[in-house]
Amino acid sequence: MLPIERIRLFLFDMDGTLYLGEQLYSFTRELLATIHAQGKTYMFMTNNSSKSVGDYIKKLARLGIEAEEGDFITSAQATAHYLLQNHPHEHFYVLGTCSLLNQLAEAGLDVTSEADDRITGIVAGYDTELTYRKLDDVSRMLSTKDLLYIATHPDTVCPTEYGFVPDCGAVCEMLYQATGKRPLVIGKPEPLMPQLAMLRAGVTADETVVVGDRIYTDIECGLRADAHTVLVFSGETTPADYEAAPRKPEVTMQDGGELLAMLRAL
């Protein structure tokens, strides 16, 4: 049972949980409005590090949802937070989009997209601007130096309208084949994003619920953060996947409409 009366922070995965591609689910607007009307907080949590928060605000606006910067927790933000806390003085090469580079720079990190001798760390993200030159640079740096090596998230593929394209995890796998090095991973299923969200909202894990459609990323990161977890069957996970999963969420729902009904019943 989800102790809904205790929950103060709702952390939502987006695609498959609140919308599917460009189609908003029928309950989403009401669900978000009800959370705010009850004085609770929600944030959108995404592993995608190719887009900035501004891009997501535009996407949600297209779907009819008003959002602002503070409503988002992204793997890029969590990566910036982790690096500032643990490795603030490194000089990072960013294997990622201009957007990722800018976000890390704005957070106060010393970052570059040019391979140089002063590099002491590598940050790999979902690089939709990837070139072979970058792969060559990173392979050389990882092979010849002992560098700090971080990946914003582990996803091997990113969904598109026709199927999938290679994501951060697939590129890191390619680099592993070449160099034998694997990165430290920040995004889901690691608990850093929910932990950062709790810190920002000033709530405890017991007052937080992670809601998502992927059992091995959304639910797993909620479990590792000791938060409450709700798996929705409105996206990727089928009931058969659920049965086969080694670690289960606290609660399963057909979709977020059931969460809205729970809130209305309070």
User: Measured from the CB atom, is 213 or 255 closer to Mg ion?
Assistant: 213
Residue 148 or 170: which CB sits closer to Mg ion? Answer: 170
Closest to Mg ion by CB, 222 vs 235, is 235
Query: What single string gives the DSSP state of each residue in 126-195?
Result: --TT--HHHHHHHHHHHHHS--EEEES---SEEEETTEEEE-HHHHHHHHHHHHS--PEE-STTSSHHHH
Task: Based on the shown chain and the rule CB under 5 A, indicate whether residue 15 belongs to the binding site for Mg ion.
Answer: yes
Question: Residues touching Mg ion: how many (CB under 5 A)?
Answer: 5
Interatomic CA distance for residues 61 and 16, integer angstroms:
17
Per-residue binding string, Mg ion, 216-245, x by CB under 5 A, is -------------------x----------
CA 173 to mean position of chain CA atoms: 19
Tell me: does residue 13 bind Mg ion (CB under 5 A). yes
- Nearest-CB residue to Mg ion? 16
202: number of Cβ within 10 Å: 10
Q: Are residues 160 and 194 in contact, defined by beta-carbon separation less than 8 angstroms?
A: no
Q: Which stretch binds Mg ion (CB under 5 A): 16-24, 102-110, 139-147, 224-232?
A: 16-24
Q: In terms of CB distance, is 16 or 249 closer to Mg ion?
A: 16
* Separation between Cα atoms, residue 137 and residue 195, nearest integer Å: 33
Q: Closest distance between Mg ion and the C-beta of residue 155, in Å?
A: 10
Run of H or E including 231: strand 228-232
Strand pairing class (91-95; 148-151): unpaired
Closest distance to Mg ion from the beta carbon of 106 (Å): 26
The minimum distance between CB 109 and Mg ion, in angstroms, equals 28
Q: What angle do CA 193, 214, 135 make, to 5 degrees?
A: 65
Ramachandran quadrant class, 116 (left: phi over 0; alpha: psi -120 to 50; beta: rest): beta
Rank residues 65 and 94 by Cβ distance to Mg ion and give the closer one.
65
Q: Does 167 bind Mg ion (CB under 5 A)?
A: no
Residue number, 224 or 233, with CB nearest to Mg ion: 233
Given the rule CB under 5 A, which residues bind Mg ion?
Answer: 13, 15-16, 213, 235
